[in-house]
Amino acid sequence: MKNVIVSPSILLCDYLHLEKELEKIKEVGCDWIHLDVMDGHFVPNISFGNLFFERLFSKIDFVKDVHIMVTEPMKFVKQFAKAGADYLTFHYEACKDDKEVAEVIKEIHKNKMKAGLSIKPGTPVEKVFPFLTDLDLVLIMSVEPGMGGQKFIPETLDKISALINEMVEERSNALISVDGGINDITGKDCLNIGADVLVAGNYLFSASDFKEAYKNLLK
Which of 36, 39, 65, 136 is flagged as catalytic? 36
Per the annotation, the verdict on 179 as an active-site residue is yes
Active-site pick, 39, 65, 136, 179: 179
For the question of residue 134 being annotated catalytic, the response is no
Task: Please give the full DSSP string across the chain, using - where no structure is assigned.
Answer: -PPPEEEEBGGGS-GGGHHHHHHHHHHTT--EEEEEEEBSSSSS-B---HHHHHHHHTT--SEEEEEEE-SSGGGGHHHHHHHT-SEEEEEGGGSSSHHHHHHHHHHHHHTT-EEEEEE-TTS-GGGGGGGGGG-SEEEEESS-TT-SSPPP-TTHHHHHHHHHHHHHHHT---EEEEESS--HHHHHHHHHHT--EEEESHHHHTSS-HHHHHHHHH-
- Tell me which residues are annotated as active site: 36, 179
